[in-house]
Amino acid sequence: MSEETKYYQHGRFSFAGGSIPNAFTAYRTYGDSKNPCIVFPTCYGAKLDSQLYLVGAGKALDPAKYFIVTFALFSNGESSSPSNTPEPHNGPYFPAVSYEDNINAQYAVLTKELKVTKIKCAIGFSMGGQQAYHWAVMYPDFVEKFVPICGSARTSPHNQCFLEGPRIALSVSKDYNNGFYTTKPEQGVRAFARVYSAWAYGQTWYREFGHLYNGKYTDLNDFIRSEWEAGFLASWDANDMLTMLRTWQTGDVSKVKSVAPALQGDLAGVLSTISAKGLIMPSKTDLYFPPEDSQNEVAAMGANATLNVIDSIWGHKAGGGANAADTEFISKSVREFLESA
């Protein structure tokens, strides 16, 4: 099931690192706009097509029950990005983008174009989960519920350090040329993909299932080349990858402009002010967003938040539709949460 991709034209739009004229947000809608609205933004390495693992008849986000709006992150190649913006704001000249920028743009689409007056739920995986947190903080009177899946309210120092690996692997490659490449910087993208692959599943998955690549691939190197390098080389622009990575790396709900001055930088304090009900779903074996971070966040939010750990060996990938068992666990939990008072 797939609806048409639409584009909302913002005109001149201000980002964290500057502004561009004629910025646009790519989005899709599913279901009747009279139904309760659910917002489901993309994550890192995802296009709008990637959202369909939770959207569809009989799935957690059923268009027969809800009006679902999926949003493409700025810099994912579908919304305004370094790769699709005309000179002089193209490529490495594209401004830095924050989560706050994305949420403000999504709010504009919902209220000005789609005439939505309330969000029943903001849900997302990974970077999408971080956006769900931002929705709850930035627009408290607009959001009833939120579900971060394998995400966090603040990108931890641990997570930031991980992201430095793939960032440096790509940015210092000779064919990246400081962002001024004229052909695809294949060496840099391949290096990025290899560093990124090491953390995606986690050690438990590799211990239990790592041998299975021998059934399809000749060895581990063949597996990484086919499953990781191929995906980034086929679908992603290098400047887009790095701009979106910076959004992830700098994510922090305690530093958005709408937070009271006295609470700026106080993560626990900001989380304690969230009025929306939250279902927080980390993966037990996630190396990007470990469940311990979610436990601390739920403790700060108090009675409004519920922790529901995905008991999976699939690491971070558990939340993104990587396997049927985890997707069904997430779907069942989300259905019950959406139907609860």
Which is it for strands 305-307 and 277-280: parallel, antiparallel or unpaired?
parallel
Active-site annotation holds for 266? no
Question: Which position among 10, 89, 134, 316 bears the catalytic label?
Answer: 316
Q: Which CA distances in Å does 242 have to 97, 254, 309?
A: 11, 23, 30
Question: Which position among 75, 126, 152, 283 bears the catalytic label?
Answer: 126
Alpha carbon distance 9, 185 (integer Å): 30
Active-site annotation holds for 331? no
Question: Which position among 101, 237, 252, 286 bears the catalytic label?
Answer: 286
Alpha carbon distance 318, 125 (integer Å): 10
The residues, ordered by sequence, that sit 6+ positions from 311 with a Cβ below 8 Å of its Cβ are: 284, 329
Q: Which residues pair with 67 in a beta bridge?
A: 37
Tell me the one-letter amino acid at 157: P
Give per-residue burial for 53-65: e unless 16+ CB within 10 Å, then b.
bbbbeebbbbbeb
Signed CA dihedral, 245, 249, 252, 255: sign only: negative
Active-site annotation holds for 175? no
Contact 241, 196 (CB under 8 A): no
Q: Helical H runs in the chain?
A: 99-108, 127-138, 157-171, 186-200, 203-209, 213-216, 220-224, 230-235, 238-249, 267-271, 291-301, 324-339
Catalytic residues, by residue number, are 126, 286, 316
